[in-house]
Amino acid sequence: MPTTRPGEYLVVARKGNLVNCGEAVHLTLMPGTVWVKVPGIQLETTFEMTQETKDGIPMRFKGSAVYRIVRPEVTAALFDFSQEGTEDIGRLMNQCCLGELRDQVSRLTMAQCVEERKTTLTEAVAAALEHLVSRPGADWGISIEVVLVSQVFIVDPGLRQQLEAEARSAVRVTSERAQLLASEAVELATIASKRRIQDEALETERRRALLEEETLVLAESIERKRAREALQTAEDRARIDAARLEAEAPVARQRHQLRLFELKEEQEALDLELAVNRMRVERDFAARRAEQALLLERLPVEQRPQIAEAASCILQGAKLSVYGEDSKLVGALEPLLGFLGEALREAPHS
């Protein structure tokens, strides 16, 4: 009764075929049934070698490959997992990696090997492994997870120190050159910045002057437009007023004529009222006037005796001497004497 753990497949032979029964299973098999356990976890194989580069420098290379069995029935048909199947797979993959890495290193210089460790070398090894486990007609049922050439270094210590010294010198020279270039770049950048600031200041002044000129032109244009609009408005208002006056002229004349007619009627009414009042006054005072006229006519008649008596007393006690015919005193008394004589004649006899 075989039992597998998580991350471990159970492959059973049934009728001449290998069948994957899954992982973490417990089966009861017939006696004589062939079965094998295949690991399903990630497995790692490492490789290491020493190889001279194209420029004759011996270098040491180390790397690793991580793979996983995805079809255990296929892998179990190729490798004997009852003995050393996993070791056989790692050994074959190591041989493939070393062969491809030797081929690539022999065609690259030391600098190229160092610089292209993660690109050219790693990609070449990964491609070789993929072709090994997944080539058509010879699929191993394995998936390559990670391939990495992790270390590349020089084997000879003296040569390594010499190259390190050269590298340090080159680095120092590069650093000093970089510092000089940086200083030069700073100075050039400062000069360029000052020139740029001056150019920007000139451009700003030019734009400001242009803006002020445009503002003045726009202000003049606006002022002219306002003047034209004001003139047009005044002309329109004058035309409107003229049209209104022309339209209102008949109405105004009619209103004036109506006002004259009303005033005339009012005057006629006032004249009529005045005449009526005058007639009322004349009517009220006619009797009194007649009475006064009668009184005036009766007064001389009634007063004639008193007048005559008064007139007769004028010369009473007077001693007059009249000389000649042209005497002024006699001429002045003549009307009085005549009035007195007439009053005496008209006086009723008592």
On the question of pLDDT at 324 being above 60, the answer is no
CA 166 to chain centre: 63
| pLDDT tens sequence across 82-134 | 888 899 999 999 999 999 999 999 999 888 888 888 899 999 999 999 999 98
On the question of pLDDT at 283 being above 60, the answer is yes
> Would you give the DSSP letter of residue 50?
E
Residue 114 lies inside a defined structural domain of this protein:
yes
Residue 295 lies inside a defined structural domain of this protein:
no
Question: Is the pTM here over 0.85, yes or no?
Answer: no
Residue 5 lies inside a defined structural domain of this protein:
no
The long-range contacts involving 308-316, CB below 8 angstroms and separated by at least 24 positions, are 308/340, 308/343, 308/344, 308/347, 311/336, 311/337, 311/339, 311/340, 311/343, 312/340
| Structural domain that includes position 80 | 44-155
Query: How far is the C-alpha of 49 from the C-alpha of 101, rounded, in Å?
Result: 9
Split at pLDDT 50, 70, 90, the class of 170 is confident
Residue 9 lies inside a defined structural domain of this protein:
no
Task: Return the closest-CA partner of residue 2 out of 89, 19, 15.
Answer: 19
Residue 151 lies inside a defined structural domain of this protein:
yes
Average pLDDT over residues 303-331: 61
Q: Please tell me the least confidently modeled range out of 89-103, 120-134, 183-197, 271-285.
A: 271-285
Residue bearing the bigger pLDDT, 9 or 164: 9
Task: Return the closest-CA partner of residue 154 out of 229, 69, 51.
Answer: 51
Residue 131 lies inside a defined structural domain of this protein:
yes
pLDDT reported for residue 153: 84
CA 343 to chain centre: 126
Number of domains in the chain: 1
Residue 57 lies inside a defined structural domain of this protein:
yes
CA 154 to chain centre: 67
CA 155 to chain centre: 70
CATH number at residue 91: 3.30.479.30
96 within 8 A of 138, measured Cβ to Cβ? no
Residue 312 lies inside a defined structural domain of this protein:
no
pLDDT reported for residue 85: 87
pLDDT reported for residue 67: 93
Split at pLDDT 50, 70, 90, the class of 312 is low
| pLDDT tens sequence across 225-240 | 888 888 888 888 888 8
